[in-house]
Every structure is written in structure tokens, then in C-alpha cells.
Structure 1
């Protein structure tokens, strides 16, 4: 287990009544699965950032004497640990964009683990996590789960709008192992209709680059895939209340699929995920434009991904591989 973090502003396991999250049930379900039987799970009602909390714990753990280094001695590696927060004051996504979600509207969690993989292979890990998240969400009893898709490199969409985001941060890497944190934010409920569009975008971490944004698009949420998707906020509260552990079901599905996917990645790398990921890419075969700091840098057809997870763009003269970096991807028909 990782050392405790002083940054969380609520004691672990402080689960508020409106969280719709049964911590004991989630722990029992993880313990019942062989892949997650030894995983740790904790909850704080409020913190700055679950990623930052777990990175601090991993950092303290990896700054140790060589004979106690968990990256050189697998037997001393900490068990994977997931930290869930009711709300975050400083949640963030790619490129440092803020990720904010009203309490109860989203599932905000991070998982710290040591992955058996050389540092050179980690560039594809965000795509592996994305494929795992889509598989997990599609396994839930939702209407039309096929409407959930991927967007390169690490977003999950519902009907073309942002449903979830993934942020992977590295604490240390050596001896063919990496200590890292995988953070996810999943929109469970839609932002209330009265919220201005620009605020709704920020609340879901879906803000566009300032230089490129014209009309922000409100994010999506899993509630859109329930049988009562057109309900008002009040009715949706009733729906989730009638599903005693809505957030817990999403969490456990995600963690179990993440464990399965990481185990496969450690054995076989990105290869088993490549075709599956591309089949679920929302923009596969479509005209796209890449932006860097809000400025268009490359346009063409999204033609595939290579063996390291780079996006392949056919610009009409050649197929060019693009790394994740600080690039963002838009359909060419979008403003």
C-alpha cells in the first residue's frame, strides 16, 4: 500500500450521503476478482487532485535506498491503489486544462501502480487505458452503448461529445518498470441545462483552445444512455437513487477492465489493442485537422495508428505519423 498523502482535505473513506457510492461493496467486488483482489480503494469527499495526491505518494516511495527500491525489486512494489474524490479543487486534464465537476455529477478517480514495461513503450499506454474504459462502459446495462467511442489520443466520446478523459502521469521509471498514475474523469450526469455553455465545457474538462473556440459544445454524460435519458435533473436524481450504486458500478467495471488490460499490456505490449482501438475511433477514415496551441498544423484523413500508438494522417501526398504531445484533434467540419 502507498504511504498516506497529506494533501487530501478529507479523511479517506469519508463518503458523503449524496455520493451514491458504496465503498464497502466496491471493495468486496474488487476483492472477488483475481486481477484486483489485492488492489486498495479509498475515497475522499474533497481534494485538490487525485492524480497529484497519488503522485506524491509514489514519489515518496521511489525516493528510497537502492536496496529498498520497489522498481528494482518487484516483490517490494506497492499494490495498485485507487483514490476516488467526491470533488476536486484542482483537477486537470491534458495540457493542464482544468477538469471540474459538481459533486455527484462525475466519477473522479486515479489509480497508482507499477507497470512492468520499458519506458519507451509507455507512449501507447493512454490508448490502452482508453480502450479499457470504453470496454468497461460498454459492459454496463446502458441503452445503445455502441454510441460510446474513442478520440485520439485519450478521450472518450458519446455521440461526438466528451464523456470522459484520461490523464497518465509518470512518477519514476527504471529497471524496465514504471511507477505511474492513471487518472480518469467520467461524466455520470449531464450539467444542468441552466449552466452557460462555456461553464459547462469547463466543468467537463472539454474546453477548446481559446484561439480556436467559437461555440463551445456541452459535454455528454452516461445518463444519456439510460432508458430515461430525456429526464430533467430532478428525475435523473430519482433514477440514480433507484440504482443504489450507479457510480460504484462504473468504478468497478473500469478498475477490473484496467487491471485486465494492464496485465495484457505487460505481456504483449500495444499490439493486442491496436485494431480494437482503431475500430472504436470516432474519427476513423474521416477528414481531420490537428491543432497545436490552437493553430492548425496538419490536415488529412485519419488513416490509422501505428505500433506505438501514433496517429497516421494521410495528407494526400504521404501518410504522416503524429505523436500525442500537445496536439488536439478536430473533425475538419468542426469550427
Structure 2
């Protein structure tokens, strides 16, 4: 496990102390951390500047708006089973990164082994599909990237199989209505709960390094979500979702991802396709599909064996769309 810059060690220590959601007096914090009351106030302001809600109540002290479960690589590693326990190696936990995907792509170029995991409490430049920003405030959400390697370009439709793994992990945690939208959105009640971003680079030895990024909203304050251009939701707003452990959910996702990835070059998308179709929230929906400057409207009639979206267009034909720069909107 490792950490990186972006949140001072003193502020990280204070966040760990406040994570239980209870009141802690400024005097007690100062005594435990060996600093002055002014130093405590500066650390509180550092957390607030990063978007952490910290309440100050005279006579009682400081507390967070709600308890936080900080990322813990040891807890995650201890909950891995089967193929994941064998295949997942280093689990990096960072206080802050620009992007977990970007960081892991760099690590891949440096020779990091397949099965390396990167997590961050906050992303300063989180990435979504088609160059969009991924809203990534400090703590409470999941920013997960996993490195895998393929010996050939045998990963067509991989984002759909990753979506199946994500839904399985969520449903195992009691989020029974978790669903999917082609090609990479994780939904609940047709609202965006998370997303998948897969990035690939070829290597000199003929292999492909594939970084699988998954972002999930667990506790996303309204003030951070103003730039999200579609209906969204977080686990805290879903019945039964507020009690989901972040570390256990991450471990559950890795437990689903590892065996799928280990066999994907052999099986491809086929074993996951019918399950994906069962999770597809927009099956049969009227929709518009935009690709570049062109827009088609019609009814979504499924996906092909290769994972291409099938749209029965109003002008007659059924057209196929690869993910690329395609945008899909329900009408």
C-alpha cells in the first residue's frame, strides 16, 4: 500500500480521527496531534477546501457531516477470494491523484504487473468517457483502476463484461436494482450510479496493457454534482445503500473482475452477454444516438455478439454502433 501527495499527512491524520462521525474537541485534537489549536483550525480548513463537510459546534468540538470509511488496502486484500486472491498483487491507496487510470497507465509503462490496483480518496482530474470529467470529491466514493494484460487484441466488448461484474458486486451488497446502460454506465432507477472507462496501450513485447477504471457514487454531496449533465444517484440515496462498506464493495468488484479477466482471451464476451442484456435498463427504449455531428433516433433492440449497440432507426434499417465517441440518450 502506498500514499501520495495532495493531502498533507497532518490533514490525513485529522480525517482519520474524525472519520467516526463523533465530536472531537479542538483541545483533544491538538493534544493527540501535538499541535496548537491554530494548527488544528488550519487542518480543518484544509479539509473544508477539499470539500469535506466539517461542523464546528461551540463547547462540543468538530465533527464530520457523516461518518467516513477510509480506504484500507489491508481490509480489501483480506476480503479477496479465489482467482482474485491469487491474481491481485499490489493494492495502491492514494490520498489524491489526478486520475487513477492515468497513474496506472504510467505504472504499466514502468512494468507494473497485471493485477495491480490503484485507488484514491480523491481525483483532481478524474476522467469519464469521451473526454468528460469525472466528479471526484474527497472520500466517500469509489475511484478504482485495475491493470491487466492481454497477449492479443482479444478484449472486444470488455466494457460490457466489466459492467456485469460491477452489477454482480452491487447486487451482492443488496443493491438489487443495479442495472446498466450501453456501453459503460452503471445505473439505479435509470439514474447514473457509476461508470466504466477502459484504456489500452500496446507494448513492445506484443502484449496489450489494459487499465479498467470504475467510478461509483457512494456519497456525493449535491454541491459537487452541478457539472453532471444527466440524472445521477449515489448509494447513500438508495434504500439499503448507505450501509454498504466501501472497502468490502471494492473487494467484491475485484472478486468478480479477476476470474472474468483471467479467462476473457479464451471466452470473450459470449458468457456474459445474456446476463448483460438482462441488466440493460434501456432495452426496447426510444433513444437518440449521436456520433460526431450525426444523430439517429429509433428504438434500442439490443446489442450484437460483439457488443455493438443495435438501434432500429425511424428511417428503417437496424444500425450498429461501436462505443467510440457515441452518445446515447433515452427519449
Q: Normalised by the size of structure 1, how large is the TM-score?
A: 0.74
Instruction: Give the corresponding residue for 2:264.
Output: 265
Alpha-carbon distance change, 173 to 286 in structure 1, aligned in 2, over 3 angstroms: farther
Q: Structure 1 residue 225: deviation in Å?
A: 2.9
CA contact (8 A) 2:155 2:268 kept: no
Instruction: Give the corresponding residue for 1:100.
Output: 135
Instruction: Give the corresponding residue for 1:55.
Output: 105
Alpha-carbon distance change, 189 to 10 in structure 1, aligned in 2, over 3 angstroms: closer
Residue 80 (structure 1) aligned with residue 77 (structure 2): no
CA distance in 2, matches of 1:53, 1:10: 17
1:22 counterpart (58, 69, 72): 72
Alpha-carbon distance change, 173 to 301 in structure 1, aligned in 2, over 3 angstroms: farther
Report SS of the residue matched to 1:307.
coil
CA distance in 1, matches of 2:251, 2:97: 21
2:304 counterpart (294, 303, 306): 306
Report SS of the residue matched to 1:80.
coil
Gaps of 5+ in 2: 20-67
CA contact (8 A) 1:8 1:53 kept: no
CA contact (8 A) 2:145 2:213 kept: yes
Q: Structure 1 residue 24: deviation in Å?
A: 1.4
What count of residue pairs does the alignment treat as equivalent?
A: 275
Gaps of 5+ in 1: 62-76, 208-215, 230-238
- RMSD over aligned CA atoms reads 2.7
Instruction: Give the corresponding residue for 1:71.
Output: none
Write the mapping of 1:1-335 to structure 2, written as runs, cut at 5 A.
9=6, 17=16, 18=19, 20=69, 21-30=71-80, 32-39=81-88, 40-61=90-111, 78-116=113-151, 118-119=152-153, 121-142=154-175, 145=176, 147-172=177-202, 177-192=207-222, 195=223, 199-202=224-227, 206-207=228-229, 217=231, 219-227=232-240, 240=243, 246-292=245-291, 297-316=295-314, 317-332=316-331
Q: Normalised by the size of structure 2, how large is the TM-score?
A: 0.75
Alpha-carbon distance change, 296 to 331 in structure 1, aligned in 2, over 3 angstroms: farther
CA contact (8 A) 1:115 1:262 kept: no
Which has the bigger relative contact order, CA under 8 A and spacing at least 6? 1
Larger Rg: 2
CA contact (8 A) 1:84 1:109 kept: yes
CA distance in 1, matches of 2:206, 2:173: 35
